[in-house]
Structure 1
Amino acid sequence: MKTLAIQTLIYDEDCPLCRAYSGAFVKAGMLDDNGKRPYSELTACEFIDYKRAANEIALVDNVNKKTIYGIDSLLAVIGASFPIIEKIGHFAPIHFLLTKLYRFISYNRKVIMPNPKSAKNHVQCLPDFNIRYRILYIVFATFATSATLYAYTDMLPPLGKGNFLTEWNLAFGQILFQAIFLIRKDLHTVLDYIGNLVTVSLFGSLLLTPMLIISEFSFIGEFVSINYFAVVATIMFIEHFRRVELLQLSKLLCVTWVLYRIGFLAAITFFNF
């Protein structure tokens, strides 16, 4: 691996993903031991755009006093050891897609992995609130959740044969239902909560996926599939509760989260809704 000795990667220390890949760069020898620095430890520097660095990870060239951001930073670090990857990444159509993907994740990283309470003790690296990318994330997470639940209903005989539209109505309906109890909050707060809400659902879908894969190769009985689903639902409730606390919102949202799901499940089971 070729080590970038004069560059420093400025990362969001409260973001697990940012900590993971910046740490991996150091461990792999792509950056030296001093090659990464938390955003909160930055001091005044005329060649760093602090606002942009909060949205896109910055790579600072300490000798030439230049800074690049976002996907270009990652390509520069990786490209020093694997030039072909940097060259492919800078091919215009691919670079455009990588840039959009990076921003999609970066602008939503605080609802994907919210800051722990301890993060309030220092300057936080908070991305701008971008409505477009937030809505795109909500739609993506809702679609992925609906598709997973649709596949899993085959393993839950009491519910009968499911369909995608029903699962979409379940997931999207929960968003609308929960939003009713935030009617007095500002749009930023509402979309922050909904972003966390769909992340919990997406997390549950990821937990269901291994069981779906196993079912393709081996028979899984009704008892196992139902109880596994119940365990996942419990984990989701705990995670939802944790996020509501982090957002400092009313615990009523946890009650309505459960009541909505119970009501929708009852409608499907008893009324063939």
Structure 2
Amino acid sequence: MKTLENQTLLYDEDCPLCSLYTTGFVKSGMLDENGRKSYCQLSAEEQNFIDLKRATNEIALVDNKTKTVTYGIDSLIKVVGFSFPVIEKIATTKPIHFILKKMYSFVSYNRKVIIPGNVSEENKLQCIPDFNYKYRFLFIAFALTITSFVLFGYSDLIPVLPKTNIFREVALAFGQIIFQSLFLFKFDKRTIMNYAGNLMTVSLMGSLILLPILILNQFINIPEIVVLGWFAITVLIMFAEHFRRIKILKLPFYLSYTWILYRILALALILN
């Protein structure tokens, strides 16, 4: 693995995802031991030539010799491409680069709802991405779609449930956003959208946990008790994760209980 030396990625220390992949670059040898640095620890000199606003949305790669900066997907392409030139060549072609740039923005603007972390409020510099309604709505739509299709398939494995259709599952998934938002009417739109993003991430996580059973059932007949047990465990994991996120967001704890209430009401509606 070729090492890109004298280059430093400025990562968001309050973003577990950012910390994970930048650490991976260093441990794999793609970057040297000084190849990552927290955005919050920028020196006064570095702040003079780095676009601080842009760096919150697009990870910055600083050339420590020339004092030049690369941002966003181009930073990642530069790091990976130094070890794998073929990848860089492919990634820099216009159609591929366009797609990668959009995918990067999709993740970057939603990173605080995909894997949220506790914010270190004592830091003067905060690496908080701009709030982007377009990418937030796209993320919610993406999570809602995956959740709906997985639940549509999983419900067929539970005989006690009446025959479903994809439209009902979409309505149920979207309905929880509306239902939970009713208990946030005192909060501003941005807070509600942040919560909605976290809410759908929890649903997406639950769907991914259910997915192995759906796949395995294509090859063997899984007993109903296993299907129900796996579903119950998934709900418990989702509840715990929802509760954790509520704490991070500093929102009322009762949202976790209304989250359960919605599922009880939805189940009662389905069975009637």
Within 5 A, what are the aligned runs for 1:85-104? 85-104=87-106
- Counterpart of 2:225 in structure 1 is 223
Superposition pairs for residues 225-264 of structure 1, below 5 Å?
A: 225-264=227-266
What displacement does 1:263 show? Answer: 0.7
2: CA distance between counterparts of 1:32 and 1:246?
Answer: 33
In structure 2, give the amino acid aligned to 1:193. Answer: Y
Whole-Å separation in 2 of the counterparts to 1:207 and 1:236: 10
1:20 paired residue number = 20
- Structure 1: 5+ residue runs without aligned partners? none
Q: Does 1:11 align with 2:27?
A: no
Q: Distance in 1 between matches of 2:254 and 2:16?
A: 28
Q: CA RMSD in A?
A: 1.1
Paired residue secondary structure (1:37): strand
SS at match of 1:84: helix
Q: Distance in 1 between matches of 2:261 and 2:76?
A: 44
Q: Which residue of 1 aligns with 2:121?
A: 120
TM-aligned CA deviation for residue 200 of structure 1: 0.5
* 1:167-187 deviation digits (Å, cap 9, x = unpaired): 101100111111111112111
1: CA distance, partners of 2:87 / 2:253 = 47
Cα deviation digits, residues 185-231 of structure 1 (max 9, x gap): 11110001101100110010011011111111111111110111011
Matches within 5 A, 1:160-171: 160-171=162-173
Give distance in 1, aligned partners of 2:27 and 2:239.
Answer: 36
Give structure 1 regions of 4+ aligned residues with deviation exceeding 3 angstroms: none
Are 1:206 and 2:187 counterparts?
no
Give CA-to-partner distance per residue, 1:7-38, whole Å, 9 cap, x none. Answer: 11111122222112111111111111111111
SS in structure 1 of the partner of residue 5 of structure 2: coil
Equivalenced residues, count: 269
Task: Output the CA distance in 1 between the equivalents of 2:240 and 2:30.
Answer: 38
CA distance in 1, matches of 2:170, 2:179: 14
Secondary structure of the residue aligned to 2:49 is coil
CA distance in 2 between partners of 1:257 and 1:30 (Å): 43
| 2:181 aligned partner | 179
Secondary structure of 1:155 counterpart: coil
TM-score (norm: length of structure 2): 0.96
Superposed displacement of residue 121, structure 1: 3.7
**Is 2:16–2:117's contact at 8 Å kept on the other side of the alignment?**
no
Q: SS of 1:120's equivalent? A: coil
How much has 1:160 moved relative to structure 2?
Answer: 2.7
Amino acid at match of 1:186: D
Q: Could you give the per-residue CA deviations for residues 138-186 of structure 1, whole angstroms, max 9, x where no partner exists?
A: 1111111001100111111111322111110110011111111111211
How many angstroms apart in 1 are the aligned matches of 2:107 and 2:76?
Answer: 14
Q: Which runs of 5+ in 2 are unaligned?
A: none
Structure 2 residue matching 1:30: 3-state secondary structure: coil
Greater CA drift, 94-103 or 12-21: 12-21
CA distance in 2, matches of 1:227, 1:188: 37
TM-score (norm 1): 0.95
Look up the SS of the partner of 1:107 in the other structure: helix
SS in 2 for 1:139: helix
CA distance in 1, matches of 2:216, 2:122: 44
Q: Which residue of 2 aligns with 1:194?
A: 196
